[in-house]
Amino acid sequence: MFVKSRILLASAACLLALMACSSKDAVQSAAPSKDAVAATVDGVPISESLVRLLLKQRSDLGREANAEARKAFIDRLALQVIVSQAAVKEGLDKAPEVSDRIELMKQSILVDAFVKNYFKNNPVSDDALNAAYAKMKAEATGKEYKARHILVATEAEAKDIIAKLNKNPKAFAALAKEKSMDSASKGDGGELGWFDPRGMVPEFGAAVAKLEKGKFTQEPVKTQFGYHVILLEDSRPLPVPPLEKIKPELTQQLQEQNLKKIFDEMKAKAKIEIVQAAAPAPATTPAPAAKPAESPKK
């Protein structure tokens, strides 16, 4: 992550703001390298590889990486070299707050490089994916429901509908078309299709989960939308998506699990000693001012 420089002069601030890159991969030194040289600034080379990296980031963001963009990047990098050299001349690189940030940035880049290299050299195998998918299917819990509902404004209206349904349970769809305030479902007789109750408001989801197939609620279900009468038509176990559909997410999950295992092993082997920070000096409490003598008079 880049730390943007703050400079009081507005013109300098505008120029330096252009140098901030969105990717942490781009934090590299303009020091000499064995790579081809794109430009030099007072004899200090700017490597072609760094320019290509910035152009690639630009294209990854869907922007054209043309000759104009290349020149703009070189101009910005040149300014970065000039300003950073000025900072070094002033000894700012030795300032504790600056050197600490540079060290943190370096560690962040190295960690990122380690992770990418690990993923590259340790791909998730098909056997591991299939095993993880089989475990997911075996541990899948929960149900989804197919239901209808009638939404009205008052509890009295809902109770009146329930009384009518007790006389004629087959009238649910007709009553939904006539009475329901839910414009999205009333035309289909209150039909909601298949849904996970966790996707509904809590009161509605809880009421559906308690119903038996073919039964409707005998008490109105109050939610933020009004009062519902709910008919449960069917239920079934929540289906597990096919492996091909969730393969990218499952692969990433396994990669992260494997990486965590590696990190845990590395940490377990390391000798970590936490040095307690010095206790802050106790605050001195000023002596209280003398109270004036209380008068016996009220």
Is the model's pLDDT at 281 over the cut of 90?
no
pLDDT at residue 34 in the model: 55
Comparing CA positions, the residue from 192, 196, 194, 235 lying closest to residue 212 is 235
pTM (whole model) above 0.95: no
Domain boundary among 237, 257, 283: 237
Residue 128 has, within 13 A of its CA and on its CB side, a CA count of 12
pLDDT at 19 over 90: no
* 29 pLDDT more than 90: no
In Å, how far from its chain's centre is CA 129?
24
Q: Is residue 275 domain-resident?
A: no
Among residues 121, 153, 187, which one ends one of the domains? 121
268 versus 296: the higher-pLDDT residue is 268
Which residue range forms the structural domain that includes residue 145? Answer: 141-237
Bridge partner residues of 235 (DSSP): 145
Kindly state whether residue 145 falls inside one of the protein's structural domains: yes
Domain for residue 30, yes or no?
A: yes
Question: Is residue 33 over pLDDT 80?
Answer: no
* Shared domain check, 158 and 110: no
Pick the most confident of 6-20, 61-75, 225-239, 264-278.
225-239
Percent of the chain having pLDDT more than 90? 63
Give the model's pLDDT for residue 298: 36
> 171 with 105, same domain?
no
**What is the dihedral sign for C-alpha 115, 121, 122, 127?**
positive
Looking at residue 295, its pLDDT comes to 32
Read off the pLDDT band of 5 (50, 70, 90): very low
Residue 278 has pLDDT above 70, yes or no: no
Mean pLDDT of the chain: 84
Last residue in a domain, options 237, 264, 282? 237
The count of domains in the chain is 2
Do 149 and 56 fall into the same domain? no
Q: Residue 294: pLDDT band by 50, 70, 90 thresholds?
A: very low
| Residue count of the chain | 298
The radius of gyration of the chain's CA atoms, rounded to the nearest angstrom, is: 34
